[in-house]
Amino acid sequence: MIVVMKADATDGEINRVIETIESLGYRPHVSRGVERCIIGAIGDERGKSRLHSLEALPGVESVVPILKPYKLASKQVKDGPSRYQIDGVEIGGTRIVVVAGPCSVESRDQILETARAVKAAGASMLRGGAFKPRTSPYSFQGLGEEGLKLLQEAKAETGLPIQTEVMAPEDVELVARYADVIQIGARNVQNFKLLRRVGEFDIPVCLKRGLSTTIEELLMAAEYILSEGNQKVILCERGIRTFETATRNTLDLNAVPVLKHETHLPVIVDPSHGTGHWRYVTPMAQAAVAAGADGLLIEVHPRPHEAFSDGAQSLKFDNFVTLMQRVAAVAEAVGRSV
């Protein structure tokens, strides 16, 4: 249920509604818009009939059921799109946020060289994996905390905020000490213990769609994070598994306008994993911006042929410069900027 307050509702009236929601055994979620305040009542729906009594409280305009299974991710609880500040970078606004860097942090020289290059080309944030979920147990698994320290060093030099992946609930606190955005990878989109754990932290979370995850399942995964109190969730389309073998995955750009219709959360696109081949990354990045994406996640490496992981889909520095130029042209055409 959501409680829509009157435009002239006082702070006292709003607080009374919040207290009443809590007394009924529900968790209040407050969203203050430009014109009015909306309060979500989150909890067991079996007793939701009791919430209709809230209409009798002063300052309440109406009590409305949330029909979608994803309550906090639904547009019904938010007046306008969500925007988050990430160490000076806003996502969800008119600017397209480009998060660029290598799949894995491999060495100090590699991550610093890449950070300088993507910064010079106009990237907004730096990505790099310190903990890597790999299909094979024999593949490079990442440098762990040492990789996080190298990312911090790259941030100190370039000023780029850091996005990096966490794989296990017990590592969330460690990663949160270093990162500006925690990434949940495609393989962990329905790792509900991990989702609940990152929901306990006040840090933006980039939630990647799973290989065979429906849009509703993605939004329900986001709901796990939101329901624990972390309201800063970014959704990422990174391609789904289909019968097609010409590309690594099938980049589902339908998801962008669908998610924009269904949720207030920002949406970004990862054309690197979506295609699996550097040659297709730039055109699909352009298409993603045209479709309405709020940002891009791009893999960049100084020497892709030497990369420890995902070299085939990583852009060289000159190709990343070209991508930024072409994305900027598309962004301008749709009333946005890079």
If you average pLDDT over residues 152-173, what whole number do you get?
A: 96
pLDDT in tens, 77-129: 877 899 999 999 999 999 999 999 999 999 999 999 999 999 999 999 999 99
DSSP strand pairing (2-5 vs 60-64): antiparallel
DSSP strand pairing (37-42 vs 2-5): antiparallel
pLDDT in tens, 128-144: 999 866 566 656 667 88
256-260, Cβ contacts within 8 angstroms, sequence gap of 24 or more: 256/288, 256/291, 256/292, 256/293, 257/291, 257/292, 258/215, 259/215, 259/218, 259/219, 259/235, 260/292
Residue 71 confidence (pLDDT) = 86
Among residues of the chain, what percentage have pLDDT more than 70? 95
Is residue 113 packed enough to be buried (19+ CB in 10 Å), middle (13-18) or exposed (0-12)? middle
Residue 236 confidence (pLDDT) = 98
Is residue 177 packed enough to be buried (19+ CB in 10 Å), middle (13-18) or exposed (0-12)? exposed
Residue 134 confidence (pLDDT) = 57
Q: Taking Cα atoms as reference points, which of 90, 177, 89 lies closest to residue 130?
A: 177
Residue 237 confidence (pLDDT) = 98
Which stretch of 227-231, 251-255, 283-287 has the lowest confidence by average pLDDT?
Answer: 227-231
CATH number of 2-65: 3.30.70.1140
- Domain extents in the chain: 2-65, 84-333
CATH number of 84-333: 3.20.20.70
CA 327 – CA 336 distance, rounded (Å) = 10
Residue 133 confidence (pLDDT) = 65
Look at residue 119 and give its three-state secondary structure.
helix
28-34, Cβ contacts within 8 angstroms, sequence gap of 24 or more: 29/72, 29/77, 31/77, 31/78, 31/79, 33/78, 33/79, 33/80, 34/79, 34/80
Q: Which residues pair with 127 in a beta bridge?
A: 163
Residues constituting the chain: 338
Q: Per the structure block, which two tokens stand in for 118?
A: 């993507």
Residue 141 confidence (pLDDT) = 67
